[in-house]
Amino acid sequence: MGASVRRLSWLCAALAFAPTAGADRRGRTKVTVWASSPGTASYGGLTYGGYAPTTGAMITEHREITVGGNEVRLAGVAATLDPASIQLRDLTDPASTITEQRFVAAATTPTEIMHRHVGDSITVVTSKGEVSGILRSIDEQALVLEVGTGDQRRLQVMRRDGYVQDVRLPPGTGVDKPSLVWRIASKKPGKHDVELTYRADGMSWTADYLAVLDEAGTSMDFSAWATVRNATGATFDNAELTLVSGGNAGPLSLTFNPYGGPTRTASAAAVPVRYPIATPVRLGAGQSVQVELLPAKQKAKSRPVITYEAMPDPSPGFQAYPNTDCNQFNGVGMGTGRAELAVELEVATKDALPEGRVRTFRRKGDRLEVVSEDQLRSSAGLARIRLVPDADIVGERKAVACTYDERAHTVVEKIEVKIQNNSRRTAEVVVREFAWRWPVWRLEAEDSKSGRSGAQTLEYRAKVPAHGKKTVTYSVVYTW
């Protein structure tokens, strides 16, 4: 199942991002990179049983080839490309057809490089001088060179253990690099402009955030950066870069139904979010580069808030199979939960910011003091940074009702969360709840309006008076 889902996922992605017929004939290289997925290898997690979420990049390049010979070779493509994802579009002759396609991996040793020049004219430098001829064979001990012409043509075996001092190969062939080789049938021989699109593994990105609070704690400087890592083996200069985050399976989130029934449409909250980078980027082979994800904010107003979680998020363990045990996390022995003081900042986004670390500092006179390093919490238009635990807010969570219908493949659960404020002032509390049993779910009812800060995360805002209490109730339906 996993392999077929991944292939279908990338096929749909390739169609979605394939350039249109009206595109510029010699446009800039386009690279679309999906964010690294968090590890969920626990029992029932997304990677349990060997399934790996689709990651990597879709790459579109514009190249020039010469059509008319036996083969057409394009060198310098990604070493990690998926040959099944290749789409070659001839812009000079749209009627041309491809009769054969091969991917040739890079040569990594001197012997491999020279082996690819068998049949080419080379020059061998020996202790007795230079010898030119056609390379006929090569191994670790010797090479065989065809020298002379006509009746004087002969094979000369040269040892490589000191006799051969240097080998000069023909320039510009690129056979040592990862290459794509085609046989193309065209009625227009000569130079052709082509557009090449393919998927490659080894390209990923992560988000990093920096927050600097002022001394009073009422405003902050906030910046968001993306670190792009290129381990494809190829370099992409002046690339038009788009970063994509969200979703459980990269470019297309396909929900697997372990019970064989119809697959339901996943929650809209899991739809990937695109972040186009404004300026061209050089993605060097084996290198990392940081790009600005959002415009930096200076002295932006921040406000304090208290976050409350009755339990850690268990949803990563239930991405491959739904949880149907109504006795699990039903309130028995769960304790009073965890409350933390945080600061919130408005950001100019329609969606939640990508998951990533935020490093928080505070100005103290003319120096900066470290406050925390944590995962950023975000929802649409809002970034939240946790600072320290809060002992005044406690609570309890319990399942008021839970019904598992084996025939209908549903779980209907009603949850009640009670918050108690033990301090002497009113507290604004954000109650974070998780629709953890299965990624496909919907709210059936709630006593106050919730917000989404993740595909399976609900947030309820409540003002809890001093020494007062507040109750949040909601019902959720899981289907598979």
Instruction: Please report whether residue 114 resides in a domain.
Output: yes
DSSP, collapsed to helix, strand or coil, labels residue 425 as coil
Q: Is pLDDT at 252 greater than 70 in this prediction? A: no
Instruction: Please report whether residue 174 resides in a domain.
Output: no
Structure tokens at 210: 């920096």
Instruction: Please report whether residue 17 resides in a domain.
Output: yes
Taking only the tens place, the pLDDT of each residue in 55-72 is 689 999 999 999 987 789
Q: Same domain for 234 and 151?
A: no
Q: Same domain for 118 and 13?
A: no
Among the candidates 262, 292, 322, a domain finishes at: 292
Q: Same domain for 285 and 318?
A: no
Taking only the tens place, the pLDDT of each residue in 279-328 is 999 999 999 999 999 899 999 999 999 999 999 999 988 888 899 999 88
CB 251 within 8 A of CB 12: yes
Instruction: Please report whether residue 392 resides in a domain.
Output: yes
Domain enclosing residue 121, as ranges: 110-168
Q: Same domain for 114 and 238?
A: no
Taking only the tens place, the pLDDT of each residue in 350-396 is 888 888 999 999 999 889 999 989 999 888 888 999 999 999 999 99
Q: Same domain for 288 and 313?
A: no
Q: Is pLDDT at 8 greater than 80 in this prediction? A: no
Instruction: Please report whether residue 180 resides in a domain.
Output: no
Among the candidates 292, 310, 327, a domain finishes at: 292
Please state, in angstroms and as integers, the Cα–Cα distance from residue 14 to each residue in 118, 244, 248, 388, following that order: 37, 14, 18, 45
Domain count, the chain: 3
Residues 6+ apart with CB under 8 A from 181: 71, 72, 73, 74, 101, 102, 103, 104
Q: What residues are paired with 101 via a beta bridge? A: 182
Residues 6+ apart with CB under 8 A from 117: 135, 169, 170, 173, 175
Q: Same domain for 378 and 470?
A: yes
Euclidean distance between CA atoms 226 and 205, whole angstroms: 6
* pTM, 2 dp: 0.74
Q: Same domain for 213 and 252?
A: yes
